[in-house]
Amino acid sequence: MLHFTSRFIDSTPGDPLSDTRSRQVHGALWSRVQPTPVSAPRLVALSPEMAKLLGLDEEALRSEAWVRVLSGNALEPGMVPYAANYGGHQFGQWAGQLGDGRAIGLGELRAPDGRLYELQLKGAGRTPYSRRADGRAVLRSSIREFLCSEAMHHLGVPTTRALSLVASGDAVVRDMFYDGHPQEEPGAIVCRVAPTFLRFGNFELCTSRGEVSLLKQLADYTLTHFFPELGPPSKEAYAAFFSEVARRTAKLIAHWQAVGFVHGVMNTDNMSILGLTIDYGPYGWVDDFDPDWTPNTTDAEHGRYRFGNQPAIGMWNIERLAVALMPLFEGDESVFQAGLLEYQRTLNTEMTARYAAKLGLSTLVDDADVERVNACLAWLAQEETDMTLFFRGLSRVVVAPTAPTVFPDVLREAFYGPVPEPHLARGLQWLTSWWERTRREGADPAELARRMDAVNPKYVLRNYLAQEAIDAAHEGDDSKVHLLLDVMRRPFDEQPGRETYAARRPDWARSKPGCSALSCSS
Ligand code: AMP
Ligand code: MG
């Protein structure tokens, strides 16, 4: 018998009303809601690791009874569905109340590891926070969220997880390109899992409304349940909490930078208080290493959330969180400064450590090493070069008995087109110097290669791969979703026979919607 709890609902103030009409909800951190049933739920995919972690039997999850729960058509005993109230800064502007407009928390389940995990349905229907939208999600964006949450997890990047993907059997109308051509698309529901889905925006909303006592209750709830190591609530504990969120956020973003993940919508309502990757929307993976690239068409003009700008935006968002938490710091500005410093310090250390490891170096020992990393990144950005293939290929170069004297074929594969000779010559020069530097690591080159292969993934969820799986699913074939999920379970392993999933983005996908450009419409 499963036992669901709802600590958030039990211990923090909620909305006394239960009608789902769009409205401003004051003095409350959540609203009770009910998922809106769908007409013909069908399980499209499950994450076996997530089921296991939760102690749920895969076969049982495939049963009609569970699929009803995973689609919002039924509740398990003890589930208390709710939508959280939060605000946020969107594209640099305060947007006021946002809230869970289509995500519905079901309750927390105690897993065999002793921890509590919250289950949440995304796309389960309208809530008081839906504004003018329908509370639903389309299959294409649900496939993307499902696959990417699990792919990120297997890469070791902190993230919310996905247990299941259910097709609803109902159509959802979306104007995918925002060009006045709305179309019906299949709807779907993802069951997401995380210790908590609280965001920076939950804290911001309280402070923006001067609801300081509510802010304090939210902070105390968060501290008590998710940061118990910081001690009972006090000014010092709030300060430590802020620094810890800053540290986790910096760590997270350094990790994104190291694997080539671009979130696409780093609004403060999409920033997890636990430092998890959250809300997979128009995200993308850089194919060619281009710091200016953003997958999000809504952001194409200003590129606020472009690949190379994510670290700076993380800092901007941490500042917004600081402003939100300020009432708890009792006017002590030094807390604010300490947190920002923590962010910068962690970002530097983490970026350095991750890029050193990508190059097979245990640490960057001097300025020459720092310059080595910078030169590599600058060179990569000059000509269209696949980030994943380039770094993965380096482990083949490191095991060569001598420094390269010609540009290695394994790295030529990373280029998207012909490259000028001088660029190759500069690349070779860099490689030679790097190869010589690796000999000072005092480790067997084969061991260096193993270490590099353990941090430079072979398989990432390339945008076009996800799009191919979506196109097939739209034709009724879910097998590509299953196959991709399976490939992404072992991103660092050679998987004989599956090399095509590690290949460069094909030319046809260069500017195809879904493969290089995504809208927020989901
Ligand atoms: P996002 O940009 O997806 O993080 O969403 C921003 C806000 O819009 C959040 O409050 C979402 O809950 C809400 N939202 C997005 N899509 C929908 C939808 N289809 N129905 C209701 N609310 C939505
Ligand atoms: Mg969001």
Take atom 12 of ligand 1 and give the residue whose Cα is closest: 101
Determine if residue 510 is labeled as part of a ligand binding site: no
Is residue 78 lining ligand 1, measured as CB closer than 6 Å? no
pLDDT tens series, the chain, 522 aa: 788 999 999 999 999 998 889 999 999 999 999 999 999 999 999 999 999 999 999 999 999 999 999 999 999 999 999 999 999 999 999 999 999 999 999 999 999 999 999 999 999 999 999 999 999 999 999 999 999 999 999 999 999 999 999 999 999 999 888 888 999 999 999 999 999 999 999 999 999 999 999 999 999 999 999 999 999 999 999 999 999 999 999 999 999 999 999 999 999 999 999 999 999 999 999 999 999 999 999 999 999 999 999 999 999 999 999 999 999 999 899 999 999 999 999 999 999 999 999 999 999 999 999 999 999 999 999 999 999 999 999 999 999 999 999 999 999 999 999 999 999 999 999 999 999 999 999 999 999 999 999 999 999 999 999 999 999 999 999 999 999 999 999 999 999 999 999 999 999 999 888 888 888 889
Amino acid in the structure at residue 137:
A
Determine if residue 279 is labeled as part of a ligand binding site: yes
Task: Please give the model's pTM, rounded to 2 decimal places.
Answer: 0.98
Active site residues: 269
Looking at all shown ligands, the one closest to residue 122's CA atom is 1
Q: Are 489 and 161 spatial neighbours (Cβ–Cβ below 8 Å)?
A: no
165 phi/psi in degrees, rounded to 5: -130, 120
Report how far ligand 2's centroid is from the alpha carbon of 501 (Å). 29
Report how far ligand 2's centroid is from the alpha carbon of 268 (Å). 9
Is residue 185 lining ligand 1, measured as CB closer than 6 Å? no
Looking at all shown ligands, the one closest to residue 98's CA atom is 1
Take atom 11 of ligand 1 and give the residue whose Cα is closest: 101
Report how far ligand 1's centroid is from the alpha carbon of 86 (Å). 12
278 phi/psi in degrees, rounded to 5: -140, 155
pLDDT in tens, 157-198: 999 999 999 999 999 999 888 888 999 999 999 999 999 999
Is residue 98 lining ligand 1, measured as CB closer than 6 Å? yes
Take atom 22 of ligand 1 and give the residue whose Cα is closest: 101
Looking at all shown ligands, the one closest to residue 272's CA atom is 2
List b or e across 144-158, with b for residues whose CB sees 16 or more CB atoms inside 10 angstroms.
bbbbbbbbbbbbebb
Determine if residue 476 is labeled as part of a ligand binding site: no
Q: How many CB atoms lie within 10 A of CB 435?
A: 18
Q: Are 458 and 492 spatial neighbours (Cβ–Cβ below 8 Å)?
A: yes
Give the tokens for residue 108.
């927390």
pLDDT in tens, 39-90: 999 999 999 999 999 999 999 999 999 999 999 999 999 999 999 999 999 9
Enclosing H/E stretch for 354: helix 333-358
